[in-house]
Amino acid sequence: MLKIKNLCKSFGEKKAVDNVSIEIANGEIYGFIGHNGAGKTTTIKACTGIMPFDSGEIEIDGVSIKDKPILCKSKIAYIPDNPDLYEFMTGNQYINFVADIFSVPTETRKKITKKIADVFELSQDLDKSISSYSHGMKQKLAVISAWIHSPKLIIMDEPFVGLDPKASHSLKLMMREFCDNGGSIFFSTHVLEVAEKLCDKVAIIKNGQIVASGKMQDVKGDKSLEKVFLDLEDGEKNV
């Protein structure tokens, strides 16, 4: 579903992403972990077509995002690390806007919105202005608008930040259900316990380079993901 091949992106002299390659198949939840400034968000933004990259290739469902960005974007949904949504709209207006862009029929958008808003207990607030929403409410709205057009791939940057425990739990269930139905998810997180329990595959990025990747069991072995991650971090310090 998502194929990143030798991705490179620099900001001036600094190499933010250096030769990153990742492959995500249908039905997989792929975790992306790394310290702050490691290159997670840059990689994610490149995958969503928001940020141009220097070299390498990104394919979504076999289509190059460089060659056909619109087609690729129509297959994905993106939730950024900080949900800066249109504060001048109400929740429903925002959902309508996103659904219009993806040409989601009226009945489908109503059905999906009701289902997820009920799960997140957001139904009562959808007619309120987004400017009055808390961070968590904005995150929930971003999730609804990501699911509204039934994408094939969902890319999320720190999706659990700001969510209450109940909403976090609901989102994890939704993610699993989405992938069980053939979708794929690529998400970054700092919550290693969540990644360990939820992900089928994981990649650890450090200073722009992938230092470990593969099936969760292969990456962590007998240790916890946290231990593996910390060992990799310490490795650099020892060197």
* Contact set with another protein (CB under 8 A): 45, 48-52, 70-74, 78, 80, 82, 84-90, 92-93, 95-106, 109-110, 113, 125-129, 131-132
Find the shortest distance in angstroms from Cβ 13 to another protein.
Answer: 13
Neighbours of 57 (CB within 10 A): 15
36 or 106, CB closer to another protein?
A: 106
| Spatial separation of the C-alpha atoms in residues 161 and 82, rounded to whole Å | 9
51 or 211, CB closer to another protein?
A: 51
Find the shortest distance in angstroms from Cβ 45 to another protein.
Answer: 7
Neighbours of 54 (CB within 10 A): 12
Query: DSSP of 4-30, one letter per residue?
Result: EEEEEEEETTEEEEEEEEEEE-TT-EE
127 or 231, CB closer to another protein?
A: 127
Find the shortest distance in angstroms from Cβ 90 to another protein.
Answer: 5
Tell me, what amino acid is at 150?
A: S
Find the shortest distance in angstroms from Cβ 21 to another protein.
Answer: 22
Long-range contacts of 159-165 (CB under 8 A, 24+ apart): 159/79, 159/187, 159/189, 160/189, 160/191, 160/194, 161/81, 161/135, 162/134, 162/135, 162/136, 162/138, 163/136, 163/139, 164/136
Find the shortest distance in angstroms from Cβ 221 to another protein.
Answer: 36
36 or 103, CB closer to another protein?
A: 103
103 or 238, CB closer to another protein?
A: 103
